[in-house]
Amino acid sequence: MRKRGQQRAMLRSPFLLTVAAVVLGLVGLTQLNTPVMQVLSFATPTPTDTATPLPTNTLTATPTRTQTPTRTPTLTPSATATITFSPTANRKATRQARATQTAAAPTVTLTPTATQTPLPIARSARVPILMYHHVGDLPPDADALRKSLTVSSERFNEQMKFLAEQGYTTIHLAELVNHLQTGAPLPEKPVVLTFDDGYDDAYFNVFPTLKDFGFKGTFFIIGAPTDYGSPGYMRWEQILELYENGMEIGAHSLTHRYNLGQFRASIQDSEIIKGNQLMVDHLPNWTPLFSYPSGSYNQYTLGLLKQLGYIAAVTTKQGALQTSQAPLELRRIRIRGEWNTSQFLYWFNYWSSRP
């Protein structure tokens, strides 16, 4: 009995009554489908290790003014490439994009077109080039060579008269070369008059006669005696007067002491280059023309003249047929002092018809 009294006393204690109330409350909440965790959340949580969440980009809604919607065209979404922000994927995407661009870019291949450089047209012209030296009186002590090189003033006047009456027109060497190279027209009966060595009788005897007939000539100057003022040679002032009056001036080496084709390159360089420089220094806008001393030259001479820009050179080879392949080897007809008028006519016609 005592035990039952004790049990009843215990059931009546406040503690047990509180526990019973809590149990009954839990049962009731469960029946009402209320999560137990919500009831238990009022209890003080037991400290546990919680993982700190990684920071994420959160958009905070900021109140803004609402704009009145307007009608905007709806763009149909098209397929776009999705880029994954991964270092490996980025490198792969970059390489793929570059490969795509390389493959897509058209390769321009320049195909060389075979173009043939037209060969220069070979031209020829039968143009007599007369070769004179001295024109005037013979000195008392003239030797055979001097006699052969000297045409008297009377004979020279007769020869010019013959050319004029036969309808010949004097031209410059530059005009002849231009015709051979380009086909520029020439007079019907052209002739070139050349005078070698630059003797002063060219100024006193030849120049006035040419002006009387309306002719022009080409005068080849030996540089050193002219520059030194040697007796018997023209001065630069006289040569410049010829030049300014429509006469053509050419070089005839520096000293005329050497047959160029028989001497070494250094001798040729000195004779040609120094003589050339004197022409350039004294004659403005000078056209390079050359006459080989004694007609002597070789392949080195030809190459040097080309290098210096010479457009024409005359030889002592007899003939009148000139070609575009050999502008530095033009042929001439040598006029001898011992010829009378009949002989002049004969040899002029003979060589004018020869190659």
Task: From first to last of the 355 residues of the chain, give the pLDDT tens digit.
Answer: 444 555 555 555 555 555 555 545 544 444 444 443 443 343 344 444 444 444 444 333 344 444 444 444 444 444 444 444 444 444 544 455 454 454 444 555 555 555 565 566 899 999 999 999 999 999 999 999 999 999 999 999 999 999 999 999 999 999 999 999 999 999 999 999 999 999 999 999 999 999 999 999 999 999 999 999 999 999 999 999 999 999 999 999 999 998 999 999 999 999 999 999 999 999 999 999 999 999 999 999 999 999 999 999 999 999 999 999 999 999 999 999 999 999 999 999 999 988 7
Backbone φ and ψ for 280, nearest 5 degrees, come out as: -65, -40
Joined together, the tokens standing for residue 184 give 């520029």
Contact 128, 333 (CB under 8 A): yes
* CA-based R_g, the chain, Å: 57
Reduced 3-state DSSP string for 97-113? HHHHHHHHCCCCCCCCC
Backbone φ and ψ for 112, nearest 5 degrees, come out as: -65, 130
Contact 348, 128 (CB under 8 A): yes
Buried b (16+ CB within 10 A) or exposed e, 30-66: eeeeeeeeeeeeeeeeeeeeeeeeeeeeeeeeeeeee
Alpha helices in the chain (DSSP H): 2-11, 14-31, 36-40, 87-104, 144-149, 153-165, 173-182, 201, 207-213, 223-228, 236-244, 265-282, 299-307, 341-352
Burial (CB count within 10 angstroms: exposed 0-12, middle 13-18, buried 19+), residue 115: exposed
Q: How far apart are CA 132 and CA 35, in angstroms?
A: 138
Joined together, the tokens standing for residue 10 give 């215990």
Q: How far apart are CA 168 and CA 333, in angstroms?
A: 16
pTM above 0.85, yes or no: no
Distance of CA 298 to CAs 156, 216, 225, 259, 268, Å? 33, 30, 25, 10, 10
Say what the pLDDT of residue 39 is: 36
- SS3 assignment, position 290: strand
Say what the pLDDT of residue 15 is: 56
The fold of 124-352 is: TIM Barrel (3.20.20)
Q: Nearest 10 degrees: CA dihedral of 21, 27, 29, 31?
A: -150
- Residue 9 gets which letter from DSSP? H
Contact 197, 249 (CB under 8 A): no
- Residue 260 gets which letter from DSSP? G
Say what the pLDDT of residue 108 is: 55
Scan for tokens 């060497």, then name that residue.
Answer: 173
Q: How far apart are CA 278 and CA 112, in angstroms?
A: 47
Say what the pLDDT of residue 354 is: 80
Say what the pLDDT of residue 45 is: 41
Q: How far apart are CA 344 and CA 180, in angstroms?
A: 27
- Strand partners of residue 205: none
Say what the pLDDT of residue 29 is: 42
Q: Nearest 10 degrees: CA dihedral of 13, 27, 25, 16?
A: 10
Joined together, the tokens standing for residue 246 give 């429509």
